[in-house]
Structure 1
Amino acid sequence: MGQCCRGAAGFAMLEALVAIVVLAVGVLGVASLLLNSSRFTQQASYDTTAMQLATEMAERMRANPAVSQTGAAAEAVTPNRYFIDTATGQRPAVTAANSPYAVACAAASAVCARQLADFDVAEFWDRVTGALPGGRAVVCRDMVAYDQATGFSWACTPSTTGRLDDAPVVIKIGWISRLSGRTVAAQTDLADMATRPQLVIVATQGTVN
């Protein structure tokens, strides 16, 4: 009778171990599901933030046509101050103290328009790089914003006719995707942002005369 009881006790222990293993597998599956759900949620948040930033910047550019919609001759002399690349360019030296929203501009209208553009760019620059992980933004004229073979790219093709104002002005934003599983430290080239931007919108249409 004692030997029988000892065997039953051992069998119960085996059942318990199997149950623990099954439970652990289930918990790991749920944990993986929650992790993926968190990544998708965070990526959706970044998508929304990028769209808001790009749309707001486009509206600011349309509100300042003296700078954002300059003609070919004007752009040849004074490059459009809205055209930037936060990975390779230089942020305008604008602070709250000399913000046109805080201090009224008393200079000529053309000077004030450029000052406003500098402030718009500086604020946009800070928000993109601050709100998005490894965030990068490019604003430029681009005739080929999307290629069927390669998709979106950071490169800009400003003209195919020789004019400077024939291409539309586009805003491109990219960041390190939460769906890629990569981190800032793992990026070999942060300026590339996995080769292509994740969001591209048209700010102003190009004109060909």
Structure 2
Amino acid sequence: MLEALVAMVVLAIGVLGVAGLLLNSSRFSQQASYDTVAMQLATEMAERMRANTAVSGVGAAAEALAPNLYFIDTQTSQLPALTRNPYTTACASTLLSCAQDTARFDVIEWWNRVAAALPGGRAVICRDTVAYNQTSGFSWGCTAAASGRVDDAPIVIKIGWISRLSSKTLGSGADLADMNTRPQIVIVATPGTVN
């Protein structure tokens, strides 16, 4: 009887170890899928910006035509108003007006996709000269170029979410903010140039 009890205890310890391993494997797998989705979202927005150079192009000509409508922070910015869906309604206005409508549509659609695909998803698109710091890592802030010239700072897309590897659970807003303090995917977007 004692031998059977010892065998059951040893088996239970082994099963608990395997269960912990499976749980960690599931967390790492989920985090990897979030990494992939975030990278795809960031790359997609960079491509949309490259396609719409009238609004997002590099250089004084583009900045003088219109402010970069792609520059957002999904935590602090207002969602732009959609004036026209460029994929269903033909544009009968100026080229710049059509480009601005397309940019607004791109931002709204992308914003909603980030929120739907990533738990607690946050995205920032801005010009930033210091996207990475050796002591603190990536940050949400955007630092302008010291020269004061707009196109001296690269356009950066930053995306973060609540990691499955975190030991915290979704609780109060303070917990949520603490879990999403750093971007997890950062890419430099190189839009086309306006002549």
Normalising by the residue count of structure 1, what TM-score does the alignment of the two structures yield?
Answer: 0.84
Aligned partner of 2:88 in structure 1 is 102
Q: For residues 124-151 of structure 1, give each alpha carbon's deviation from its aligned partner in whole angstroms, at most 9, with x where no partner exists.
A: 1001111001000000000111111211
Letter in 1 for 2:53: P
Q: Which runs of 5+ in 2 are unaligned?
A: none
Rounded Cα–Cα distance in structure 2 between residues aligned with 1:33 and 1:14: 29
Aligned partner of 1:44 in structure 2 is 32
Q: How many residues align?
A: 193
Residue 88 (str. 1) matches residue 76 (str. 2): yes
Rounded Cα–Cα distance in structure 2 between residues aligned with 1:22 and 1:136: 46
Query: Aligned residues: percent identity?
Result: 72
Q: Aligned ranges for residues 45-84 of structure 1 at < 5 Å? A: 45-69=33-57, 71-72=59-60, 75=63, 78-84=66-72
Aligned partner of 2:169 in structure 1 is 183
Aligned partner of 1:158 in structure 2 is 144
Letter in 1 for 2:110: F
Runs of 4+ that moved beyond 6 A: none
Higher relative contact order (CA 8 A, sep 6+): 2
Q: For residues 140-167 of structure 1, give each alpha carbon's deviation from its aligned partner in whole angstroms, at most 9, with x where no partner exists.
A: 0001111112111000002211122210
From the CA coordinates, give the structure whose radius of gyration is larger.
1
What secondary structure, in the 3-state scheme, does the structure 2 residue paired with 1:138 have? strand
Q: Which runs of 5+ in 1 are unaligned?
A: 1-12
Rounded Cα–Cα distance in structure 1 between residues aligned with 2:5 and 2:172: 39
Rounded Cα–Cα distance in structure 1 between residues aligned with 2:111 and 2:190: 19
Q: Aligned ranges for residues 134-149 of structure 1 at < 5 Å? A: 134-149=120-135
Distance 1:193 1:87, change over 3 A: farther
Q: Are the aligned partners of 2:86 and 2:102 in contact in 1 as well (CA < 8 Å)?
A: yes
Distance 1:99 1:41, change over 3 A: same
Which of 185, 196, 205 is equivalent to 2:182? 196
Q: Are the aligned partners of 1:66 and 1:110 in contact in 2 as well (CA < 8 Å)?
A: yes
Aligned partner of 1:127 in structure 2 is 113
Q: Aligned ranges for residues 6-21 of structure 1 at < 5 Å? A: 13-21=1-9
Return the offset for 1:194: 3.6
Q: For residues 17-52 of structure 1, give each alpha carbon's deviation from its aligned partner in whole angstroms, at most 9, with x where no partner exists.
A: 111111111111010000000001000000000000
Normalising by the residue count of structure 2, what TM-score does the alignment of the two structures yield?
Answer: 0.90
